[in-house]
Amino acid sequence: MFSDAPNLSNLEYPVTVHSDGVKLKPEKMIINQLYHCIFEDQVFLFYKDEEELLHCYEVENADAVKEISANPTDTEKILEKYSQEE
């Protein structure tokens, strides 16, 4: 569904968390690449589609949120795991 994660070491991650909320830089997003952040014990997912529309979702499954918070680099694998359980 989403492309493989690009090497972001040379790129600025387009989703950042600050004390006043989540900041997005959609111009830095790669189309159909999933981005995530953890803000106030909530997991948010973002991606930009082929038409450059920005999509935002909140992960509501408490177990998934806990697991993503503990292992943020495995977000896509964790989401796949919980989507198959439903």
Residue 1 has pLDDT above 70, yes or no: no
Structure pTM?
Answer: 0.82
Strand (E) positions, the chain?
A: 15-18, 21-24, 35-39, 42-48, 54-59
For 8-60, the pLDDT digits (tens) are: 444 689 999 999 999 999 999 999 999 999 999 999 999 999 999 999 999 99
For 56-74, the pLDDT digits (tens) are: 999 999 999 999 999 999 9
